[in-house]
Amino acid sequence: MKNILICGAGRSATDLIDYMLKHAEEHDWNVTVGDISVEAAATKIDGHPRGKAVFFDSNDEEIMQRYIKDADIVISVLPPGMHAAVAKVAVEYNAHVVTASYASSEMLELHEKARNRGLTLLNELGADPGIDHMNGMRSVDRIKAKGGELLAFTSFCGSLVTPESNDNPWGYKFTWSPMNVITAGDGGARYYQNNQLRCVPYHRLFADPHEVNLPGFGKFEAYANRDSLPYRKKYHLEDIPTMIRATLRFPGYCEGWNAMIQLGLTANNYRIEGSENLTYRQWISSYLPRGNSDTLEEKLAQCINTAQKSELFQRILWTDLLTERPITRVNGTPAEILLDLLLDKWEFKQGDTDMLVFYDRQEYKIGDQFYEHLSYMVTKGQDHAHTAISRTVGLPAAIGAKLILNGEIKSRGVVFPLLKEVYEPILNELDALGIGFTSHDNRIEKSQLLYS
């Protein structure tokens, strides 16, 4: 018998929990789901005889130890900043760990200790990061296997609403961690393009999105995602001229979000004392140029360099930023105050459906002939509970945990899904579950960089 502890019962945990419970009898698993809301955990378990809901708080060392000490594996779907604390306790009690998030420096520090204890700390095993890594690495390995020389690696992913649920001028609703959306890109981005290092500071990140045409699905726009530089080494492409990872949005989003950044509304490093005494109109007024000659609307239009009749201005007007709607956040940061407003305006409502869009393009050559390798996938959520983000985040983590428990993943220490022993069985099972890529290769006359 194996004991599995799942930390977190939020929206992205639904399909993970369902998978582990579905296979619990077959593999003789006991599944404990811990969350700060026992009710939420119990709802996800839904009375399954192999499941148990408990109160779990990653800020409480005693509670963490109480449940981790009996676990063979811990799957953390908590906010990213909490994974390392959970993993540290897990290593002390000789439990494997799986997360769907980027590995922090604190997580990486556990590598040697975990490896020496024969433990696997499998990170970045969700959608992005996760499925994007695995599909990209599979493509790279296949190209190299036939003698190809990689010239460009571009990877795009976006969590979006389906066209049927796209009923607001931003083309966006919250389907995952809302605050992560508000602060996305605040560290800027770096990538390589034609052997040139490109550094994009936060204040320019959304100002010049790149157009992406996805066969059969139309146009999207993309902004560079974090730091692509380490992935040259991770993908064993240290000398590749172009390496770019980017995030997809529907057209118009980046222009609107760039305006929010330029206004200063996404800052999360200071607080507005007495914010609860302001309306949103009063709040945004404090960010606009001084002077009494213009209306607030005129000042805003001038500040973001647009006309009041423009789509950009109407997009911002739709958010209710210029209304007398009261701010409820006490001493909030600008990002928190904006978040509270958008939680209502960008609500993922009952009846809405989401989708995950993946699109990879690699350029390579064999001899003197150039080729492009295209692979793409659009997977849609089933309903409000079983969303695309829940499936694409939860199922890779669940399958990875199963492989560790069954002894099929033998790598130890901090591990990423770029190893064939990890990505191949996970992608194969995802494909069987209806989450698979369409891919093909085309001959091209010369290098045709998508991201230029």
Tell me the pLDDT tens digit for each residue of 82-97.
999 999 999 999 999 9
Beta bridge partners of 221: 211, 249
Residues 6+ apart with CB under 8 A from 37: 9
Which pLDDT belongs to residue 450? 45
Lowest mean pLDDT among 64-68, 289-293, 338-342: 289-293
Give the strand order in the sheet containing 96-99.
51-55, 29-35, 2-7, 73-76, 96-99, 120-122, 413-415
Joined together, the tokens standing for residue 127 give 């959608």
Is pLDDT of 452 > 50?
Answer: no
How much is the average pLDDT of 268-296? Answer: 92
Reply yes or no on domain 131-255+350-444 having CATH 3.40.50.10470.
no
Residue 448 confidence (pLDDT): 60
DSSP annotation string for 106-169: HHHTTHHHHHHTT-EEE-S-BTTTBHHHHHHHHHHHHHHHTT-EEEEEEEEEEEEE-GGG--ST
pLDDT greater than 70 at residue 308: yes
Residue 398: CA atoms inside 13 Å, Cβ hemisphere, count? 24
Q: What is the rounded CA–CA span in Å between residue 38 and residue 410?
A: 34
By DSSP bridging, strand 242-249 and strand 2-7 are unpaired
The two three-digit tokens of residue 100, written as one number: 């769907």
Mean pLDDT of 64-77: 98
Work out the average pLDDT over 143-165: 96
End-to-end distance of the chain based on CA atoms, in angstroms? 54
Higher pLDDT, 215 or 204: 204
Q: How confident is the model at residue 177 (pLDDT cuts 50, 70, 90)?
A: confident
Q: One-letter amino acid identity for 183?
A: T
In the chain, CATH 3.30.360.10 covers: 131-255+350-444
Confidence of residue 392 (pLDDT cuts 50, 70, 90): very high
Q: Is 443 exposed, middle or buried (0-12, 13-18, 19+ CB in 10 A)?
A: exposed
Collapsed DSSP state (helix, strand, coil) of residue 332 = coil
Q: What are phi and psi of 210, to 5 degrees?
A: -105, 135
Contact yes or no for 96/408 (Cβ under 8 A): no
In 3D space, the residue among 399, 325, 442, 275 whose CA is nearest the CA of residue 15 turns out to be 399
Does residue 447 surpass a pLDDT of 70? Answer: no
Q: Is the pLDDT of residue 145 over 60?
A: yes
Q: What interhelical angle do 388-405 and 14-22 show, nearest 10?
A: 40
pTM confidence score: 0.90
Helices then strands, each counted (H, E), the chain? 18, 16
Asked if residues 45 and 53 have their Cβ atoms less than 8 Å apart, the reply is: yes
CATH code of 2-122, in short, is 3.40.50.720
DSSP string, 25-90: HHHTEEEEEEES-HHHHHHHHTT-TTEEEEE--TT-HHHHHHHHTT-SEEEE-S-GGGHHHHHHHH
Q: Report how far residue 425's alpha carbon sits from residue 429's, in angstroms, rounded to the nearest whole number.
A: 6
H helix or E strand, kind and range, residue 231: helix 230-234
Question: pLDDT tier at 383 (50, 70, 90 boundaries)?
Answer: confident
| Residues forming CATH 3.40.50.720 domain(s) in the chain | 2-122
Widest pairwise Cα distance in the chain: 74
Mean per-residue pLDDT, 123-127 = 96
C-beta of residue 6 within 8 angstroms of C-beta of residue 32? yes
Render pLDDT for 217-239 as a digit per residue (tens, 0 to 9): 899 999 999 999 999 999 999 99
User: Which tokens sit at 450?
Assistant: 């998508």
